[in-house]
Amino acid sequence: MNYLIGDVQGCCDALDRLLEKIDFSASRDHLYVLGDLVNRGPQSLETLRRLHGFGASATCLLGNHDLNLLAVAHGVRKPHRGDTIAQILDSSERETWLLWLRHQRMAVFAHGWLMVHAGVVPQWDAAQTLALAAEVETLLRSEALADFLPQMYGDQPARWSEALTGTERWRFVINVLTRARFVAADGTLDLVTKDGADAAPAGFQPWFELPQRRTRGTPMAFGHWATLGLINRPDLLALDTGCVWGRSLSAARIDGGRGGISEIIQVDCA
């Protein structure tokens, strides 16, 4: 069986209960975790240990909180007041966890689903999304990461252009894949508004509602946007259901067909 799981954010107890509920077996099943593995929840280190322990049976995407951990670890960003990553940073195995994170994915296509942490801009189709994600994955695994991390944060450039290169290109791709919520038809990002889908600023829409989106024919799954709650459509899955805010952790079992969803499974999060 193949399962997609929304934002865990260090809530390892909830993850364990969800895995028990779906009767997950690393020898038989495969997990796709849609980013924000760590932070804000109480068990970030335990979460990394659990997912790492599944080996090739777990494919993990990187979210904004996971990249924040890398930035803090490299000394280019101070921890936020609500961060819960100290156990990782203080661990004797710190370098093991940081290296493992650097080898996780920015986007995945599997079993008929394109998976990202946050979203896409309308100008990207599935193939371009995966190609741009691969550029960032190569960067994260390279020695150039240390030079890039101090320049990773920022809201500019705000609009996609094929002419973007280097740091600006990588920053934009990361912002889309890990932070996007509201997007304009021309590919401009609004990275300020964090409310639900009905709070779109003038001229913007939730990225998945844009009619000209080139990924519209591709079933997509994402996390990141807890205020949306669960969206369960044949071609769209939003799986961040706010576990770290005391709501629920969600998984979707996919049957391998194009956009096929066999079951939604949830556990309450204390």
What is the number of other CB atoms lying within 10 angstroms of the CB of residue 234?
11
Nearest to 176 by CA among 103, 239, 234, 124: 124
- Residue 202: exposure state from Cβ atoms within 10 A (0-12, 13-18, ≥19): exposed
Output 81 or 258, whichever has higher pLDDT: 81
pLDDT of residue 136: 98
E strand or H helix at 248, and its extent?
Answer: strand 248-254
pLDDT of residue 257: 52
Taking only the tens place, the pLDDT of each residue in 207-256 is 999 999 999 999 999 999 999 999 999 899 999 999 999 999 999 999 75
Nearest to 60 by CA among 28, 37, 89: 37
- Quickly state the pLDDT bin for 262 (edges 50, 70, 90): confident
pLDDT of residue 48: 98
Q: Walk me through the domains of the chain, giving residue ranges and CATH numbers.
A: 2-268 (3.60.21.10)
pLDDT of residue 256: 57
**What does the pLDDT average to over 138-145?**
97
- Quickly state the pLDDT bin for 270 (edges 50, 70, 90): confident
Output 58 or 262, whichever has higher pLDDT: 58
Length of the chain: 270
Backbone dihedral angles phi then psi of residue 56, each to the nearest 5 degrees: -70, -5
Taking only the tens place, the pLDDT of each residue in 186-198 is 999 999 999 999 9
Check whether 258 has a pLDDT greater than 70: no
**What does the pLDDT average to over 255-268?**
76
In the chain, the percentage of residues whose pLDDT exceeds 90 is 95
Taking only the tens place, the pLDDT of each residue in 97-116 is 999 999 999 999 999 999 99
Full-model pTM: 0.96
